[in-house]
Homo-oligomer: A and B are copies of this chain.
Amino acid sequence: MSHLVVRLLNYTPKPIETVYTAARTCYSGNAPSDIWSKRTTEFEMIKLLDKTISSSHHSILEHILFTFSVEGLSRSASHQLVRHRLASFSQQSQRYVEMDDAEFIVPQTFQFTPEAMKIFKETTEQAKIAYKRLRELGIPAEDARFIMPNATTTNIVMSMNFRELWYVSGIRLCRRAQWEIRDLFMRIKSELHSVPELTGLAEYLGPRCETLGYCPEFKSCGYYPIKEKAIGD
């Protein structure tokens, strides 16, 4: 069975310098290229970044773009992922790529119920055999894929600017988020964390409750109290 792999393929270099230059441009008579070349210490830049973000001036975070290789995501999760519209996706096409060697994502809940696991394996194995036979019968790939299950994996190149990455992480890192897409964003955060110049940015990524100071859902997972409880009277 398959496992999700996430790689940070590429990103805007000097990201802190870039958002610092953007932020300073708004409040300065100096030219952006001067601010860029005479930039201050990393400590000062991060201090300004902190202040800018906490005062909701988030648009400056759009100037830095992150590109990820997402490998082995189920089509269930990819259908959900591409609903984020302020991002760019290039996804493996089931119209053009043959599904003969299809792999599948098994949800954890199957792993504790042997009969469920057996059903999962039989159904997905059967789908692969059926797919091959349909192709032999001359059914085009774009139609044969109709019998492939949601568990089938897909690959995606995804780019998001940091404002959107931060916003989406707020939703998808919530403990109540669907487990596979939460896993994806935990790996994304982890990828950023492992690059020294991105560690500071990675720290901003977290569930919305950490930013809001309370849980915005109906029922809290317990990590933060809901709004009504957090804000006394």
Contact = CB atoms under 8 A, between A and B. Distances in A.
Interface of A: 5, 7, 9-14, 18, 21-23, 25-33, 36, 54-56, 59-60, 62-65, 67, 69-72, 74-76, 78-79, 82-83, 85-86, 88-98, 101, 104-107, 109-110, 113, 115-116, 119-120, 122-124, 126-127, 130, 133-134, 137-140, 142-143, 145-151, 155-157, 159, 161, 171, 178, 212-214, 216-218, 227, 230-232
A146 B105 contact: yes
8 contacts: A10-B18, A23-B90, A31-B72, A74-B146, A75-B79, A113-B137, A113-B139, A116-B134
Residue of A65, A67, A105 contacting most chain B CB atoms (<10 Å): A65
Question: How many copies of this chain are found per oligomer?
Answer: 4
A107 to B, nearest CB: 4
Contacts of A147: 119-120, 123-124, 149-151
Given A9-B36, A14-B10, A33-B71, A119 B113 contact: no
Contacts of A109: 138-140, 143
